[in-house]
Amino acid sequence: MSLEKLLSMASRLFFLGAFVLLGLAVIERIANAAGYTILRLYQGGRLLEFAAVLLVFVITMQQREIKQELKSRRPLGS
């Protein structure tokens, strides 16, 4: 498996994980407003922090892919 495929798969996985954490944070916040809790380990705000960290990694990996794509398109004289 090439590095590009591995990074692409990791990027997609992190993106999906970030949205799952976002969904859990919203559900937890709604449950907290009703007086219940779903997740005892982490609060909704902490889940949002984890989602933001995953999205930062996704952005970084996407920028790396864009940089390599632009570098491969550059003419030889430049």
pLDDT tens over the chain, length 78 residues: 788 889 889 999 999 999 999 999 999 999 989 989 888 888 888 989 999 999 999 999 999 989 988 988 877 665
pLDDT of residue 3: 84
What secondary structure letter does DSSP report for 21?
A: H
| Model confidence, pTM | 0.77
pLDDT for position 42: 80
pLDDT of the residue at 23: 93
C-alpha span between 12 and 67 (Å, rounded)? 18
CB 44 within 8 A of CB 29: yes
| Residue 78 confidence (pLDDT) | 57
